[in-house]
Chains A and B, each alone.
Chain A
């Protein structure tokens, strides 16, 4: 198994793969894709399309097709989550909540042209396909939110995405958009497994914003599983979460 990590978007981006690649440049192209996406969508980059939209230098008809796709995905998510997911905060457009998962998916698409077995991660959000070794699917820990050196669950995924939302990730960008005053103290972390990382990431973000009932929301979504940790150190998981779990204490 091969592994490469680069710092992009202010976060570690890790790609792992299993097979000898015919075109090994695909790995660097996948990292380049992340860099391109960061240049276009980062609210911290003054020349990004997102920054231009926020400065009202770009009219809607001039948006790129990709940007339209991102916005459509965001609006769909807002509807699906009764408004708990929103890329507009106090008049500022910040699509980071969609872009992170989408960027991972874009890199995964590139890798899939060369290999069936890969792992792509940005800051704890992961998309995998195939296996990490000849016999084992990708094995992924869920970090203990109270002690980052520990894992509190271990899952195996053959195809799909896993994302974790927690409090105070990178500047409090997760909050309850329906009530700014509501502190998200009750839930410490919420991990979601879905068919792909875009779905896992956006629903983990939205469900986390719902507070304690977020895990019920994940339970209600077909094809999704969730694992919630609250401040009392309780874990609540959806009905079939344990189908993914590996028990090896």
Chain B
């Protein structure tokens, strides 16, 4: 459950940042995002000041498409209230599948191969690509498309 909350918090925060960037911080309706699965992220307050409400949605709840996050699927439900996106519920989360590791021993010449191993030690930083936010955006985007008047 903790993992889910952390993941949910991450994708929500990432999406808010991303949407601000994409929309030039014009305070669109998307900025008013909250999530009942991630209460810690309910106040992206910096975005609330200049609500021009350029996008208006029809009230209701809309289920987004299922989007592949590569280690599982993300699907969200968008809740529109007062013409604004007020809540995002996670219907599907990615699940770890560490229990079903299959190892193909077909080694490449020169290169070493091994099964993926988790390392836990202090690091200064992390190199990695973000795909969870993409899956989240895909699902939410399709939900909001349905909600548009």
Q: Report which A residues bind B (CB closer than 8 A).
A: 1, 7, 9-12, 14, 16, 44, 119, 121, 123-126, 132, 138-154, 162-172, 188-189, 191, 215-216, 219, 229, 231-239, 241-242, 246-249
Residues of chain A lying within 8 A (CB to CB) of residue B104: 232, 234
Residue in A145, A162, A171 whose beta carbon sits within 8 Å of that of B71 in the complex: A145
Residues of chain A lying within 8 A (CB to CB) of residue B121: 139, 151, 154, 246, 248-249
Q: How far is the CB of A146 from chain B (nearest CB, A)?
A: 4
Residues of chain A lying within 8 A (CB to CB) of residue B124: 1, 16, 119, 132, 138-140
Q: Report which B residues bind A (CB closer than 8 A).
A: 3, 6-7, 10, 17-18, 20-22, 70-71, 96-98, 101-104, 108, 110-132, 134-135
Number of A-B residue pairs, CB cutoff 8 Å, is 177
Residue among B17, B22, B98, B119 with most chain A CB within 10 A: B119
For the complex of A and B, 5 pairs with smallest distance between CB atoms? A143-B128, A166-B129, A10-B21, A248-B121, A146-B71
Q: Tell me the nearest residue of chain A to B128, going by C-beta.
A: A143
Q: How far is the CB of A197 from chain B (nearest CB, A)?
A: 10
Residue in B96, B120, B134 whose beta carbon sits within 8 Å of that of A169 in the complex: B134
Provide a sorted-by-A list of 22 A–B residue pairs whose CB atoms are within 8 angstroms. Answer: A10-B17, A10-B22, A119-B125, A124-B129, A124-B130, A141-B126, A147-B98, A148-B128, A150-B120, A164-B129, A165-B129, A167-B70, A168-B135, A170-B130, A171-B134, A233-B115, A234-B113, A234-B114, A236-B111, A237-B111, A242-B112, A248-B119
Residues of chain A lying within 8 A (CB to CB) of residue B70: 145-146, 167-168, 188, 231
